[in-house]
Amino acid sequence: MNNKVPNNRAWLLVLPMLVLVAFSAIIPLMTVVNYSVQDVLGPNARFFTGTEWFESMLNDSALQAAFLRQISFSLIILAIQIPLGIGIALIMPKRGWQASAVLILITLPLLIPWNVVGSIWQIFTRGDIGLMGWGLRELGVDYNITRNAGDAWVTIVLMDVWHWTPLVAMLCYSGLRSIPEAYYQAARIDRASKWAVFRYIQLPKLTNVLVIAVLLRFMHSFMIYAEPFVLTGGGPGSATTFLSQSLTTMAVGQQDLGPSAAFSLIYFLVILLVSWVFYTTIMHMQKDKHPHGGA
């Protein structure tokens, strides 16, 4: 993996992929840029507006609120899922049929279509027919996600933890499996405590996969749409309206092309900035590991 050969003909191998991705990415993105600086009133009536839409979007208080909600949601689920995922990975069986069985069970939530995840939790939390909603009501808790914003938040966080912790757990599990048995033997000879083994052997080996986990979880939670849409519809009020939903309401529901395009670009730039930070981190880590190269 080190000493790669300089060879510009490699572009030929990349070309088919490039054409396809460009078709799905660049043309639509250019359309968005185009809309973001114009006011489209009809097929033949469009005016150049410059940065007007961008200014109005940045000053829109509803969007600012959605942005803050989005950030806090992403941070909350990261704070829960990452430690929980590590914990589960540590106690998963390493071999035998149990390992396969646990693996398949744990991966299950990842393979359910996102709107069905919303439906599952909608059914599960309803007061009249859902196990959780009914159970909490029997226990005397006043739980109602369509009326109480706090309940809606807790439920959405719970749903996301249920849905995505398996990804973190699986990433950590695969990281743990790559630790050579000799490391553990050395630790035993040194009579290292469980905590020391975790802190000095397992955690350093996990940093690589943890960065991937944080990156994937951050960006997926940042564009969450289908699950809260099905579960709460963004309500009560706008308590659980996240950025993607604000955007689709604006673009598809109200057909506000200019403002929604400007909003799209700002949204995308924020994600781009964060992923750039992660990307450079990953690349630096690879460089530390292989001083002579790395992707």
Partner 1 sequence: MSYQLENTQRGEKYTTIFSKVTPAQRRNRNARSRWRANCLLGLYLILMILPIYWLINMSLQTNSEILGSMTLWPQNLTFDNYIGIFTNSSWYMGYVNSMLYVAMNMLITICVALPAAYAFSRFTFIGDKHLFFWLLTNLMAPPAVFLLPYFQLYYSVGLFDTHIAVALAHCLFNIPLAIWILEGFMSSVPKEIDETAYIDGYSFPRFFVKIFIPMIRSGIGVTLFFLFMFSWVELLLARTLTATNAQPIGMIMTRTSTASGIDWGTLAAAGVLTIIPGILVVYFVRNHIAKGFALGRT
Choose the binding region for partner 1 from 37-45, 56-64, 74-82, 237-245 (rule: CB under 8 A): 237-245
Q: Applying CB under 8 A, which of residues 41, 79, 108, 277 lies at the interface with partner 1?
A: 108
Residue 111 to residue 249: CA distance in whole angstroms = 27
237: left (phi over 0), alpha (psi -120 to 50) or beta: left
Choose the binding region for partner 1 from 39-47, 75-83, 189-197, 233-241 (rule: CB under 8 A): 189-197
The reply to whether 147 sits near partner 1 by the rule CB under 8 A is no
For the chain, how big is the Rg over CA atoms in Å? Answer: 24
Nearest residue (CB) to partner 1, 239 versus 261: 261
The reply to whether 183 sits near partner 1 by the rule CB under 8 A is no
CB of 68 to partner 1, least distance (A): 17
End-to-end CA gap in the chain = 8
Q: Applying CB under 8 A, which of residues 82, 219, 233, 238 lies at the interface with partner 1?
A: 219
Window 39 to 68, contacts with partner 1 (CB under 8 A): none
Residue 46 to residue 153: CA distance in whole angstroms = 41
The reply to whether 188 sits near partner 1 by the rule CB under 8 A is yes
CA distances from 283 to 128, 153, 204, 268 (A): 51, 36, 16, 22
Q: Which of 192, 212, 210 is nearest to 89 (CA)?
A: 210
* CA-based torsion, 210, 212, 215, 219: positive or negative: negative
The reply to whether 130 sits near partner 1 by the rule CB under 8 A is yes
The reply to whether 8 sits near partner 1 by the rule CB under 8 A is yes
Window 259 to 278, contacts with partner 1 (CB under 8 A): 260-261, 264-265, 267-268, 271-272, 275-276
Q: Applying CB under 8 A, which of residues 109, 233, 235, 236 lies at the interface with partner 1?
A: 109
The reply to whether 32 sits near partner 1 by the rule CB under 8 A is yes
Q: 10 Å Cβ neighbour count for 73? A: 21
